[in-house]
Chains A and B, each alone.
Chain A
Amino acid sequence: MDASVTLKKLTEKFPDAIVGTHNYRGDDTAIVKKEKIRDICLFLRDDPDLLYNFMMDLTVVDYLGRDPRFEVVYHLYSLPHNRRVRIKALVPESDLTIDSVVSVWVAADWFEREAYDMYGVVFAGHPNLRRILLYEGFEGHPLRKDYPLKKRQPLIGPVN
């Protein structure tokens, strides 16, 4: 299948950082190493042929038992070109940090806080990396696959 403009330019620009690409049924996807993620995002935003100026979603997937265990997934949209791309950055359990992209898209702020809250991925350079949905004092990260189903948090009341 022909690579799209986005994937072609991305592979030319960052040959070392791209682990793999595909555009299955027209959905551009690039799997990248986490070290260059901020540069990749800046390039996607600023290159005149790409102009991905809209960060639609940022989330994390936990592939328990695989190495690297986590994937940080960015969904981007280019309003000028009406194109979308999905970037997956691989994050191993041994080093749970990845560069924040808040300086690229301000919209990433609360997404990254939620990802940190639920999965414990640390976004280096985030201006205010605190829990957003859960409360201070919550132990663990509940959307990880190994979070105990029946775990109770020591917050309030005798039973909860």
Chain B
Amino acid sequence: MGLKLSRWTVTRNVLGGKAEGAGPERLLDGSVILTRLEAAVNWARKYSFFLYPFVTACCGMEFMSVAGPRYDLDRFGAALPRFSPRQADLLMVVGTISHKQAPILVKVYNQMAEPKWVFAFGVCAVSGGFYDNYSVVQGIDTLIPVDIYVPGCPPRPEMVLDGLLLLQQKVKQERWSDWPRGEAPVSRC
């Protein structure tokens, strides 16, 4: 939590005439913004997710709803779905993952370039949901690291937006040392 964009705030207030800034920005006549590179990069990353929708089940309809104009994921910079994992940095796992499909999911995850984030969309992706049976993976976090869990069967679009905002908060607090994460920690696939 230690990393904050406090200097952004200072600069904004100085430029807006709200506060008497004492920082170097003022000495340089407000023509530059000083921040930490880590914070600036994280700021850019969190408003520019490229989704890979791994859609397997009925949650996909809710995904379409939240990605469409009514709820409009685009407002938060996460609009453009890429249908190649190599061009994406946010893996949206939308729906039930069966054991037979698990190796595919792991492969897609491993194909994505770092930095990358995983969004478990719906209760099946979160924990297997009510499919506590022989064929369904009991939560995708048994296969790959997950950043945000959004339960619900299916989740309301508001929940998804809330999850995306939480993910943005998380990205904002990341450090260089968080990357790379490396391959998915599974034994077989």
Contacts and interface: CB of A to CB of B under 8 A. Distances in A.
A158 B106 CA distance: 14
Nearest to A140: B134
B103 interface: yes
Nearest to B103: A156
Interface stretch (B74-82, B87-95, B136-144, B166-174): B136-144
B134 A156 contact: no
Interface centre among A151, A157, A158 (most CB of B within 10 A): A157
A159 B99 contact: no
B153 interface: no
B138 A160 contact: yes
Interface in A118-154: 133-135, 138, 142, 147, 150-151, 153
Contacts of B99: 134-135, 138, 153, 155-156, 160
B131 to A, nearest CB: 12
B126 to A, nearest CB: 13
A134 B135 contact: yes
A158 B142 contact: yes
A14 to B, nearest CB: 38
B27 interface: no
Contacts of A156: 99, 102-103, 106, 137, 142-143, 186-189
Interface in B139-162: 139, 142-143
A126 B99 CA distance: 26
Interface residues of B, number: 18
A159 B185 CA distance: 12
Contact of B142 (A138, A142, A160): A160
Interface in A68-104: none
Contacts of B18: none
Nearest to B132: A150
B135 A157 contact: no
Contacts of A158: 142, 187
Nearest to B142: A157
B70 interface: no
Interface in B91-137: 99-100, 102-103, 106, 132-135, 137
A155 B188 contact: yes
A29 B13 CA distance: 85
Interface of B: 99-100, 102-103, 106, 132-135, 137-139, 142-143, 186-189
6 contacts: A151-B134, A156-B187, A156-B188, A157-B137, A160-B138, A160-B143
